[in-house]
Amino acid sequence: MTRLPAKAFTRLLAPALAALLSACAVVDRAPTPKLEAGARWVVLPFANATETPFAGQRAEAISEGLLRTLGVADVQRYPAQLASDNLFETGAPKDADKALEWARSQNARYAVTGTVDEWRYKVGVDGEPAVGVALSVVDVSTGRTVWSGVGAKSGWSRDALSAVAQKLLKSLLEPAVRP
C-alpha cells in the first residue's frame, strides 16, 4: 500500500472535509447593480408558498435585521396591520401594489420582497432544517426589479431553522448591499 505524503493528504482532504461539514446550500444571484446602502429601504411582505404558517413574516423579520447589520441604516418594515400572511397563499401577495404604494409614500428608494418556498424541519430520523427563498430588490419609483436571488439551504439536525434561514438570507442579501 502506498502512503500519501501529509501535504498531499491535507490538500485533498481539506476541501472534502469543508464540503462535508457545511450543510447543503444552493444560491443563485443576478449580477448586482450599484445599490445605495445609504438610501431608504423597506421590507415588503413576502409570499408564503409553504405549509408553515407565518414563514413569510419570519423571513421578513430576519431580512430587516440583516439589512441593518449589513449597513443599511434607514430600513423600515411594512406595517404588520397592513400585511397578511396566508397559509394557503400560492403566489405573490394580492396586496403587492398596495405595499409598493406604501413604500412610495415612505419615500423609499428600494424595497426587498420575496417568496418563501420552504421553511420546515425535514421528516426523518435527524429532522434537518430546510429553507428556500426567492428575493427581489425593487426600485420603488419605477416598480422594476433591479436585483434578484434564489437559494435553498439545509442544516444539520442540531441547527435551528432560524439560524439556517439567517445564513441563507445573508448569503443572498450581502452581495446586493455590499457589492
**pLDDT tens digits, one per residue of 44-59:** 999 999 999 999 999 9
Q: Region 163-176: what's the mean pLDDT?
A: 96
Range of weakest confidence among 7-11, 15-19, 114-118:
15-19
The model's confidence at residue 7, banded by pLDDT at 50, 70 and 90, is low
Higher pLDDT residue, 14 or 96?
96
State the DSSP H helix or E strand holding residue 77, giving kind and residue range, or none if neither: strand 75-77
Three-state DSSP at 137 gives: strand
- Taken as a whole, the chain contains a residue count of 179
Instruction: Evaluate if residue 169 carries a pLDDT over 70.
Output: yes
pLDDT digits (tens, 9 = 90+) for 81-138: 776 555 555 445 567 889 999 999 999 999 999 999 999 999 877 789 999 999 999 9
Q: Could you tell me if residue 71 is left (phi over 0), alpha (psi between -120 and 50 degrees) or otherwise beta?
A: left
Instruction: Evaluate if residue 9 carries a pLDDT over 50.
Output: no
Contact 135, 173 (CB under 8 A): yes
Predicted local distance difference test score (pLDDT) of residue 11: 56
Report percent pLDDT > 70 for the chain: 80
The model's confidence at residue 25, banded by pLDDT at 50, 70 and 90, is confident
CA torsion through residues 163, 103, 134, 20, sign: negative
Predicted local distance difference test score (pLDDT) of residue 33: 87
Rounded to 5°, angle at Cα 45 from 172 and 53: 95
Q: What is the mean pLDDT of the chain?
A: 85
Instruction: Evaluate if residue 173 carries a pLDDT over 80.
Output: yes
DSSP 38: T
C-alpha to C-alpha distance for 1 and 93, rounded to whole angstroms: 63
Residues 6+ apart with CB under 8 A from 91: 47, 49, 115
State the DSSP H helix or E strand holding residue 120, giving kind and residue range, or none if neither: strand 110-121
Predicted local distance difference test score (pLDDT) of residue 93: 56
DSSP 33: P
Distances (CA, A) of 146 to 48, 140, 167: 22, 10, 22
